[in-house]
Structure formats: C-alpha cells, structure tokens
Structure 1
Amino acid sequence: MNFFIADDDDAIRSMLEEIIENNNLGNVVGEAVNGSLICSDFLHNKNVDILIIDLLMPIKDGLQTISELNSSFKGKSIMISQVENKEMIGKAYLLGVQYYITKPLNKIEVIEVIKRVISNIKLEKSINHIQDTISSLKTDNSENNISTNKNILEYSELLLSDLGVIGESGSKDLLSIIKYLYTHKNDNKTSTVPTFPPLKELFTHIAEEKLSENSSLINVRKEVKASEQRIRRAVMQSLNYIASLGLTDYSNPKFEKYAAEFFDFIEVRKRMLQLQNDISSNTPIHINVKKFIKVLYLESKKHLENNL
C-alpha cells in the first residue's frame, strides 16, 4: 500500500512514517505540510492508496482538502487531530473519511486503524470481481458449491465492512459460521435450515474446524469460549459504530438500514444517548448475537441468490 501524509508537524509525519514502514504496512510515497499542496492528480500520479491527513493545518485544512478531492481521489482517507468536536468528526465521516484518530497518537491504535483500512481496500477490490466470478460459475455441482461458498463470504465481508468490523478478529469467526451455515443448507437437501442452529453448535463447529482433529475436549471448549468472546466484541463494536453514525446523522443510509435490522433498536438508541452525553456504559447494553449472525447470513444469502 502507498501512503501520503499531510501534517504541519514534522514529528507527527516522522512518527507515522516510522510506524507504517517498520510494521510492513506499506510505503510512504510523499508528504505535505498543508492541504494546498495536494490534488487528486498529484495523488494519482503517486499511486496513493491511503491519505493520512491532519484536520487543522495552515492555508488549507484537512476538511477543506478532503472536500475538494471529493470523489476524484479513489483511495481512502484517515484523519488525525487534537480536536474532538463531534460536529467536526461527523463532517469528516460525511466527507468519506474512513477513520478519525485523535492526538496524541497511540501507536497500537494507528496500526489497527491502518490494518482495517487496508482490509477494506482489499475487500472492495474483491467485491469488484464478484460479477465476473458469478458469471464464470461452473455447471458441475461440486465446483458450483465451492464458487457459491466463496461468493457468499464475499457478500458477508461487504456487510461486515459496512458494519464497521471487517478488521475485528471476530469477523473471521463470523465468516466461518456463514460458511458452515451455507454448506449445512446445501448438504441437507431435505431442509433449508428453517430453524436456526443453536449458537453452541455454531461455536463448536468453528472451534473444531480451527483446531486439529486430535484436539482434546478441553481445548475445544477453550476455543469455543474464545470464539464467542471475539464475536461478542465484534458485534458490540458494530453497535458502537452504527450508534455513532446515527448520532452524527440520523438519516445516514447505513444507520437507517442496519440499526434495526441487525440490532435491537432500543439498545442502539441507549448507546447513542451514552455517546451523546460522553458517559461510560454504566447501563448495560444488551447485544443479540444470534440475531446479528442470523441477519448476516440471510442478507448474504439473499445478495448471492439475487445475483445468480
């Protein structure tokens, strides 16, 4: 991946370049001290995949720069700033910024955010080939099953990206469950899985699939618990992401589509109020993991069938 860094602080630019290159995340192909030095042609010529830009800079700030680049820049943007104003953060997201990182920079956070953006880029490239993949499906049943399994996972990845968790470790567990559900449906011709399997069955399956065949029952149980925790964290992260979108813009298409579909809307609203008032989660937030998985599977399956 090629990165371009725009920040008027030499130390910040140096720190970001060191983090990117020392962790094999990509190459820094250019830098700028303000947005007036950046245009879409310039970024295109340097094959920039990810633009990391400061919000507050002299001459032309980050928001103005991103706004002028608009859709002409095909890469992704990460904004950094000391400012934590909700209105500015919301405006940054509305302009298409992928993530907003507050200063002082935390190395671990920067690495994780960059990894998520890279995952999103790779996912979009994969999605762009879905139609080509579908059109080349073989008539042979075994080959057809392999292809459709792959395609349903691509749709699931797209949904997880929209839900803000494609970079979470639990997303891999969720994809394993989707694969199991779709394979299970195809293997049982007399049933289309009218009743959704118990969560214990799903977690046990992906644990056994991940571990070797000779793994002890104790190790399987440990992996089941770890998988469940990863998935719960991913679902909670998704709820936080959707709630933040709704708090910024109640008419946000993702919020309108996913808030009530994947979650209990009362819980989403509860989390929005917590975020709005800058309070910790004193009131527990209930997440319905089974509903999330079921909707993820059914939506992925619907997308697949609509394109066959």
Structure 2
Amino acid sequence: MDTNFYIIEDDKVIQNLLKKIILKNNLGDIIGISDDGAQAIDEIKRLKPDIVLVDLLLPEIDGISIVSDINRSKCKTTFIMISQVTSKEMIAEAYKEGIEFFINKPINVVEVVSVIKKVKEKMNMFHVIQSFKNAIKEIQIYEENSLDKEIETSSNKDKIEKILAQLGILGEAGNNDIIEIILWILEQDKDAGKNPIKYKMTEIYNYLQRRYEQEYQITTNVFAIEQRIRRAVNRALINIAHMGIEDYGNEIFIKYASILFDFKEVRKQMNHIRGKLDYGGKISVKKFIEGIIVSIKNPI
C-alpha cells in the first residue's frame, strides 16, 4: 500500500520542493497541500493521510497547534515538522505534542528522503503489526469473564498487556515502550537475585533508544521515547479518574489508583474532570512502571 502524504507549508517554493522529493523518490502519493492551518486540520481529519509534513511557523495557526488538534481527534497520522526555528523549547514542545521527527530548513533532499524512509519503516513495524496484535489482544481480553483470569499462567508480556488493556491504553503509541522497559527490568531483577537493580529513568530511555537502533534498525529520539511514554501514562491517569467518577467501587480503580499513581494526583484529576480544578493530576513514570512490576510479581 502506498503511503499518503499531506503537506502544510505557506511557502510555495518549499511546497513544490517537498512534493517533487516525495514523487521523484517514489515515497508515496500527495493527497493534499495547504498553506492554511484551519483548512489543513479539516482536510487531514477527512482524508486521514499516513504522514503529514507541517511547517512550525504558519500565519494563522502554528504547526504545534495543528498537531495537537489532530492528535486530540484520534486521527492516526504521523507528523514530521519542518522549520528553521532553533529554539530548544519550541522543538521540545513539538515533540511533546506528538511529532516523530524534526527537519531543519533550508531543505536538504537527502535528509528529507532519509527521515521519511525511517518514519515509514517505523510505521510498518509499530503501526501495522502492533495494531493487528493489539486488536487480537483486545478481543481476547473482552471475552474474559474475570480481570485476572489465568494471569498466573501467562507470560510476563501477557500480564503487562492485560494491565495496560484494563487501563485503556493498550493502543497508545507509548504502550510498546512501556512493555519493553518492564520486561527488561524484570529480566535484570531475575539475574540480580535478592537485590533488585537500581536505575534512573534517563538510563532506561537511553537503553531503549540503543536497543531500537541495534535490534530493529530504527533511529529514534530519547526525548520522543520519553514523551510517548508520558502521554500513555497520562492517558491511564485520565482513564482511572473517569472510572473513579463513574463508580468509586470499580475493581480496576480500586486495584490500580494507588499502586500506579499518587492517589492525591488521581483525586486532582477527578476534580479537574468535574470542573472543580483548572489543572489535572501529575504522573510519575517510575511509580507507574514499578507499580505494574509489583502487580505482576504479587497478583491479588
């Protein structure tokens, strides 16, 4: 299947250059081009392109706002941002909102082709295959009559996936990263015997980046890995808060609200959803991961 591209760029010269690079190198098809952010948002939601090349600085709506709007709509699109901006804060904000790669202007043909090929490889590995696996897992989980049915006899990966499914984040982009991290920690703990390993999350993210490059030949950014994971954990917090609001006696809420999060932060998120606070709760990725490990080692 050909990859479909949408280009958002207010410079006609760069529009034509990007289009020429994509078509000349047989990278895919162009299904839309726009220099207007609002128009682009509507068309992307309707056309659902595989990859969007978006300029950071646009006249009406900036690229970060476009990415944020599209991601909130649950449209499965991968973003590559293009800009001459060198501000680390703006680039970090772009990664936080969900872009996969950042290409600096002026446009370099070799760089554009290389980045697009890397994105397509990643999509093939993590989007198509993982989406299929997740769909099968979701069907299996929905057919279970108990939250923890046969959990004692399942593999550690199955146990992790069941917990993530119960939290409603099995389909999130950071789901695979979380699984890889927990499996690695469990393996290290087993080798360490009675003395569990000590680690920092920055070390884990760096390890994950090296593993993706060495084993899967996927080049990714440590900051992008961290943000994918944080978005997934934050979504879990939101889902848990909704469960608590709907039914304070919900089994999943009771089981995970305190072990995966600081319960005070869960309460803040619940009050934010109710409109009582202007801000939601905070997350700790390390507490979330350690909570899942405890749940696996000591199933209730």
Please give the range of the TM-score, normalised by the shorter of the 2 chains.
Answer: 0.3 to 0.5
Q: TM-score, normalised by structure 2?
A: 0.48
